[in-house]
Amino acid sequence: MSGIIESKISIKPQVGLIWAPLAGLAAMCLSVLVLIGVVFAGMESIASAAETKPVVSGARVAGDEARTRFVLDMDTRVEPSISGLANPYRLIIDLPEVEFAIPEATGQSGRGLVKDWRYGLFAAGKSRIVMDLTGPIRIDNTFFLPAVDDQPARLVVDLVSSSADQFAAFVKTSRPTASAETPKTTSKGDRLAAEPNSEKPVIVLDPGHGGIDTGATGVAGTLEKAIVLDFAKLLKGKLDESGLYDVRLTRDEDTFISLKRRVEIGHELQAALFISIHADSVRRGRKFARGATVYTLSDKASDQLAEDLAESENLSDVIAGVELEDEPTEVADILLDLARRETKSFSIYFAKILVNELQSAVRLINNPHRSAGFRVLKAHDVPSVLVELGYLSNEHDEKLLVSEEWRERMANAMTESIHGFFRPRLARQKEPPSQ
């Protein structure tokens, strides 16, 4: 600005008396703008510093079956909340949301009283460590060591062997209520609690696992929780493009959602269709189980593979350290029973449409429509299916699951099957009212 002003003064000296004061004013304005920029930059820096999460840089277990020590290396002090769960024996360490800067394989093997342990995001603002124990324990001591010289700060938890009765008492006093413990994706008044658009069928896409529950891990290290979330977002985008549906996700980030809460979301939104998306590992016949599979709910599993997968999927809450609630007692209500039967029929109907559409687009497993007692499919009023995109225990499937071309084919086929399922309903909505 000053360069431009000076050139004008040299060309037309007669207007110098006019331009000189303006030059001073411009310089003052420029200084104010610079000062404002510095202030905003400082505010952004402060905000960034405030959002910085504590970092866990190391973790280890030492000791024997009489006394075991668990240590976390950290860059700052945090206040843990420690509780226990039985059947199976577990120790839960809840922390403010932290960054785990430790190798992914950490915790796969334990020592002494700790068989193994896992870690991750449990809910917004909350990280969790879950230890599988060899038996009942008692917490002998918990303390925090400040950083000294080149040594990081340390959270230390000492465990000693105990009795089942003592551990049961610890569980009772340490656990929050079930309603407080189970994290919800949203609170009242937000997008999930909002009334669905009655003019459009509501579809709930449920990316399995998340947060501390990573799900299966592929031969090359692919995480199921990441694969299914990316795919659910891709499928949602394609369905949104049609403008025909109100599509929701049970989670849209890497956070844990309990099985019960997933079912509740479908019910609360009055969903017309619930699709749970997975990519599991197979414990039996790892080399041979390949291809997409569609599962519906049944009291008795259709085969051993379906039974194994349902057992594995139903452990999600156990993995994340959520207290399992007893199954509600069945109410002898003829209307409720009719609703369940109708929901089951619609679920099977959609499963058949989906299998027919998928078989021309991707590889399917033999007998691609199977059934078992998946807890996430137990909404009595929402047609529900669980789709295994493939099996991460098979290296060929894993390569497909990370392939953009394959994912497009799969998402397109699922979109077409959803169109087919809702076509009669959408056609009825377009019919003019009878005179």
Q: What digits encode the pLDDT tens for the residues 384-410?
A: 999 999 999 999 999 999 999 999 999
Q: Calculate the CA 411 to chain-centre distance.
A: 20
221/430: higher pLDDT: 221
* Whether residues 113 and 218 fall in one domain: no
pLDDT in tens, 371-380: 999 999 999 9
In a domain, 33, yes or no: no
* Whether residues 156 and 286 fall in one domain: no
In a domain, 300, yes or no: yes
* 295 CB-near residues (< 8 Å, 6+ apart): 306, 309, 310, 351, 369, 370, 371, 372, 374, 377, 385, 386, 387, 388
In a domain, 378, yes or no: yes
d(CA 202, CA 266): 9
Q: Is the pTM of this model over 0.95?
A: no
DSSP letter string, 41-84: HHHHHHHHHHHPPPEEEEEEEEE-SSEEEEEEEESS----EEEE
Cis ω for the linkage preceding 146 (within 30 of 0): no
The pLDDT of residue 224: 97
The pLDDT of residue 17: 38
The pLDDT of residue 16: 43
In a domain, 106, yes or no: yes
* Whether residues 137 and 281 fall in one domain: no
For residue 375, give the DSSP letter.
Answer: G
* Whether residues 215 and 114 fall in one domain: no
In 305-396, where do the E strands start and end? 364-372, 384-388
User: What's the average model confidence in pLDDT over 283-305?
Assistant: 85
In Å, the largest CA–CA distance within the chain is 100
* Whether residues 392 and 305 fall in one domain: yes
Residue-averaged pLDDT of the chain: 84
Domain end residue (candidates: 131, 156, 174): 174
The pLDDT of residue 105: 83
CATH of the domain at 96: 2.60.40.3500
Domain end residue (candidates: 134, 159, 174): 174
CATH of the domain at 399: 3.40.630.40
Residue 2 has pLDDT above 50, yes or no: no
Least confident of 273-277, 325-329, 348-352: 325-329
State the pLDDT confidence band at 182, using cuts at 50, 70 and 90. low
Q: Which residues pair with 370 in a beta bridge?
A: 295
The pLDDT of residue 334: 66
Residue 363 has pLDDT above 70, yes or no: yes
Distances (CA, A) of 291 to 231, 269, 404: 16, 31, 16
In 3D, which of 425, 411, 409 has the Cα closest to residue 346?
425
* Whether residues 270 and 137 fall in one domain: no
Most confident of 44-58, 170-184, 290-304, 322-336: 290-304
The structural domain count of the chain equals 2
Straight-line distance from the first to the last Cα atom of the chain, in angstroms, rounded to the nearest whole number: 74
* Whether residues 214 and 163 fall in one domain: no
The pLDDT of residue 404: 96
% of the chain residues with pLDDT over 70? 77
Residue 242 has pLDDT above 50, yes or no: yes
pLDDT in tens, 142-166: 999 998 888 899 999 999 999 999 9
d(CA 66, CA 112): 7
Record the tokens describing residue 202, joined without a space.
């509501």
d(CA 401, CA 178): 36
- Asked whether the CA dihedral 146, 148, 150, 151 is positive or negative, the reply is negative
* Whether residues 166 and 261 fall in one domain: no
* Whether residues 366 and 219 fall in one domain: yes
In a domain, 104, yes or no: yes
Cβ atoms 357, 416 nearer than 8 A: yes
Residue with the two structure tokens 């189970």:
182
Domain containing 157: what range?
55-174
